[in-house]
Amino acid sequence: MEITPLAATNSAQVSDISEVKRKMHLTGKITKTTLAGAVVDIGLDIPGVVHISQLQKEPVNKVEDVIKVGQEVDVWVRRVDPKKGRIELTMIEPLALEWREMSKDMVVKGKVTRLEKFGAFVDIGTERPGLVHISEMTHDYLRSPKDVVNEGDEIDVKILAINRRKKQIKLSMKALEEKPTKAPKPSPRDNLKGKEIKGESENAKEEPVPTAMEIALRDAMEKAQTHEDHQSIRGKRKGTKSKKEIEQILTRTLEHKVKTSSK
C-alpha cells in the first residue's frame, strides 16, 4: 500500500537538467530581474525562470517590489523541458496533491486541522482539506471525533470520493483497518434447540436426581405397600367366604325349623 506524503520542505540538489522533476524544491540566487519576472541560478548550466505571476500569491505590480538581484530564494519546479533546455520555476509552494493527481482509493498522509461533531477536516496537501465523517473514523460506535483524533494529529487516510466541481474530498480512516468479523446469527432451528435445552435444564432443576439412600428407602416403602395390599386382598377374600358359610348355615337352620314345625 503506497502512501502519498505531504509536500516535502527540504531542497533537492541536482547536477543535471535530467534530474530536475516537477514540484522539486530547490534553492537559488536571483541573477537578473525583468519586467516579466526573474532569472534564478539553481546551480546548473541552465538557469531557471520565474514569471512575475509566480513570485507570490498576491498580485505583483513590479518585480523589484518582491525580490532583488543577489537574493537567495526558495523555488519549485513548474515545468522542465530538457530538449529545449528550459526550466520554469515558481516561488509559490505548490500543492502536494492537485485535483488531476488525485484518484479514488488513493492512500495519503494528512494533518487534522479542525474537528466538528460530524467529523474531522484533514489537510492532505490539496487546495481544500478533505473530510473524514465520524462514520468513517472507526468500525466501532463513536460519540465524538475527539475519541479518536485531535487537531494537529498526522494520520493516514483513504480517498473515498472526489467532487472537483464542488471541490469536496471524502476521506476514510476505517477503510485502512481490518473489518471486524461478526458472529453468525442463530437459525430458527438453533433457537428451538436452545429453548429445548433451556427447558430440559429447568426441568432438571425442578426434579433433582435422588440419592442412593433415597432410592433404597423408596423401594422398601413400595415393597411394604405391596405386602399390605396383598394382605388386604387376602383378608377380604377370607371375609367373603366366611359370610357365605354363615348364610348357608342360617338357610339350613331355617329350613330345618320349618320342617320341624310342620310335623
**Maximum CA pair distance of the chain?**
182
Predicted local distance difference test score (pLDDT) of residue 198: 58
Average pLDDT, the chain: 82
Domain boundaries 9-90, corresponding CATH code? 2.40.50.140
Q: Cα–Cα–Cα angle for 90, 12, 24, nearest 5°?
A: 40
Taking only the tens place, the pLDDT of each residue in 70-129 is 999 999 999 999 999 999 999 999 998 999 999 999 999 999 999 999 999 999 999 999
Sign of CA dihedral 52, 55, 56, 62: negative
9-90 shares its CATH topology with 99-176: yes
Instruction: Please state the domain extents for the chain.
Output: 9-90, 99-176
Taking only the tens place, the pLDDT of each residue in 196-227 is 555 555 554 555 666 665 666 666 666 656 65
Which is higher by pLDDT, 156 or 223? Answer: 156
Domain boundaries 99-176, corresponding CATH code? 2.40.50.140
Tell me the CA end-to-end span of the chain in Å, nearest whole number.
140
Predicted local distance difference test score (pLDDT) of residue 181: 80
pTM: 0.58
Residue 239 pLDDT more than 50?
no
Helix or strand or coil: residue 106?
A: coil
Instruction: List the single range of 102-111, 121-130, 143-152, 172-181 with lowest mean pLDDT.
Output: 172-181
At 82, which amino acid appears? Answer: P
Predicted local distance difference test score (pLDDT) of residue 72: 96
